[in-house]
Structure 1
Amino acid sequence: MRAITISEPGGPEALVWTEVPDPEPGPGEVIVEVRASGVNRADLLQRQGHYPPPPGAPAYPGLECSGVIRAIGPEVTGWQVGQEVCALLAGGGYAERVAVPAGQLLPVPAGVDLVEAAALPEVACTVWSNVVALGRLAKGETLLLHGGGSGIGTFAIQLGVALGATVVVTARAAKHDRLRELGAAHTIDYREQDFVEEVRRVTDGRGADLILDIVGAAYLPRNVAALATGGRLVVIGLQGGRKGELDLGALLAKRASVAATSLRSRPLAEKAEIVRGVREQVWPLVESGAIRPIVDRLVRMADAEDAHRLVETSDHLGKVLLVR
């Protein structure tokens, strides 16, 4: 088969479409013929040499895909050859075929195109596990999302609204109209506005009950300042650095909490549990139309370097997909 390999850590030109060995299904795995694969910022980090795949994962980038099951390994039940699926991956999505643990498979939701389904697994699992399972977002609460125009952000807006929360987002001003169409009640231009002041203003001084943060260190003190009493800060990205100063006194005064999580390196059993939660709680919202995949554009998989250049600019809204 062919796959996108990384010739050496570096820029987008390091991505090379080349022949590689075909995958074989191990126990508990299926082989998916890939129709489309989502581009995530983790893929950019892997290309740069900063985020190697976990042990046993394919060396090729790609943390989610959609396609058709072409082979089933031992100990797999409940799936059939020829079935259309999408999948959460530890790697290998930038390829014509990929081996997937059966616990990380999802059926393509009714009403969603097979290609567009590739935009769902990574964001759905990330958002559900952090906003619902860990963050315990409840009806009537305020959810602050950083990076509202990203794949994570556009999905989290819709899920937050579906759960009855008031959603506030930070994003470039050019994206605000579209984010309000998705359900964001308030949009903040992080380049021109102080998000702490804006969150306090729109919540009558109370602050955000839950903050989902992709920035990390650069936002840590301000995120704590923006939390409501009993608020929860969940950090899922480090675009603004790894190390920041945490005011424990402010955290204590608010009886607030800070958590940080990643998805890729979790054990198979934990990923399977998250996938089950998504299938039970999120897929019905997708099939009802309350949540839909937001796709900025499609790029040929062989031209993955073009997709990486686009994602690096952050000019896109929602997901960029590679298609075969």
Structure 2
Amino acid sequence: MATMRAVDIQGGVGDATKLFINDQSPVPELKDGELLVKVKAFGLNRMDLMQRQGMYPLPPQAPKTLGVEFSGTVEKVSGDVGDFKVNDAVFGLAYGGAYAEYIAVNAKMCIHKPKEVSWVQAAGIPEVWITATQALWTVGRFKPGMRVLIHAGASGVGIAAVQLAKHAGAAAVYVTAGSDEKIKFCVEQLGADAGFNYKTQNFAEEIMKATENKGVDLIVDPVGQTHFQKDIDCAARDGAIVVLAMMSGPVAKEVNIGPILFKRLRIEGTTLRSRDLEYQRALRDKVVEEALPGIVDGSLKVFVDKVFDWTDIIEAHKHMESNDSQGKIICTTNYYKEE
């Protein structure tokens, strides 16, 4: 059996110090329609932290190896893989397995890497830009002229969502974040119209002031409990709240649901990793349509907070846990410098 190096967890679950590179991991076997990709770089996501701790329910098709987004070159193909061929530069989204030298991934979830996009940038695109696209269009039903509120504006998904909404014609884009530095970044670097520090400001009150009491038409919320009542308070009539995650917890107590009725609000939760292949393929195509041209010409930017060598995976996870990052955290493998 062919082996490779891949990030593993001592004991199966644990804190960041339990991560190590296992040089006896099996190279994944291909199924029909899959590519074997030699990984040059992979992106970190909060689901990786939860999975490492044993707190993330994996879809049945996911391997135990962490990581859902990557960039690299096609090493091998199996069956009908469309226009992909060996040695193609690609990036993509997988159900898991990206923290490794090789990953098996369905061709429907891969994208040809433009030469204008670096390996590091490409590894930071799939999860967050697909999630942002899903939240805005598929679930949020975004249309030009809408007023949009993006929570965790300096996160990977937030950075993508702010830029996409502005690029697609939002009337105004507002953000929240947990520091004035992050608010400044969102306004000055991403083009948000205004931002509010949820630790020092009541963002619902500030949103209502900024919109002359109209509220916002679409809210993208990965925070959950602490923000939910304020979301309801500052949503506009016929507005939508898209719940992506529950970083502050799942239980919102003593919520006034009256405005949900009177404002005719639509509240919808959504996930990505557990979705079937065709759903994810449609989102991939939407990213290629809505985001990739802007990323190539520079009008949309992939912000990378820090790049780690994958042998420093413990430090990379600790950095994500610190909540100090603004943009993607990327790890590069030993194949990164190969031409």
Is 1:235 paired with 2:273?
no
Of 106, 112, 117, the match for 2:117:
112
- How many angstroms does 1:85 deviate by? 0.7
State the TM-score, normalized to the length of structure 2: 0.93
The residue aligned with 1:145 is 150
The residue aligned with 1:265 is 274
Give distance in 2, aligned partners of 1:210 and 1:45: 27
1:313 is matched by which residue type in structure 2? S
- How many angstroms does 1:42 deviate by? 0.4
1:64 is matched by which residue type in structure 2? E
The residue aligned with 1:5 is 8
Superposed CA offset, 1:196-255 (max 9, x none): 011111111111111100111222111111101111000001111122255432111111
RMSD over equivalenced CA pairs, Å: 1.2
Is 1:94 paired with 2:102?
no
Of the structure 1 ranges 53-62 and 309-318, higher mean CA displacement relative to structure 2 is found in: 53-62
2:173 is matched by which residue type in structure 1? V
1:115 is matched by which residue type in structure 2? V
Stretches (4+) displaced over 2 A: 243-249
The residue aligned with 1:169 is 175
Contact kept? 1:109, 1:286, Cα under 8 Å: no
Give distance in 1, aligned partners of 2:138 and 2:60: 26
Of the structure 1 ranges 34-43 and 73-82, higher mean CA displacement relative to structure 2 is found in: 73-82
Give distance in 1, aligned partners of 2:147 and 2:329: 28
Q: Secondary structure at the match of 1:218?
A: helix
The residue aligned with 2:21 is 17
The residue aligned with 1:217 is 225
- How many angstroms does 1:15 deviate by? 1.1
Give distance in 2, aligned partners of 1:7 and 1:53: 18
The residue aligned with 2:300 is 291
Of 55, 58, 67, the match for 2:60:
55
Gaps of at least 5 residues in structure 2 are 334-339
Of the structure 1 ranges 133-142 and 117-126, higher mean CA displacement relative to structure 2 is found in: 133-142
Instruction: Show the 5 A alignment for 1:116-127.
Output: 116-127=121-132
Superposed CA offset, 1:141-171 (max 9, x none): 1111111111111111111110111111111
The residue aligned with 1:157 is 162
The residue aligned with 1:136 is 141
Q: Secondary structure at the match of 1:115?
A: helix
Contact kept? 1:87, 1:106, Cα under 8 Å: yes
Percentage identity across paired residues of the two chains? 36
Q: Secondary structure at the match of 1:33?
A: strand
- How many angstroms does 1:110 deviate by? 4.7
Q: Secondary structure at the match of 1:287?
A: helix
- How many angstroms does 1:259 deviate by? 0.4
Q: How many residues align?
A: 324
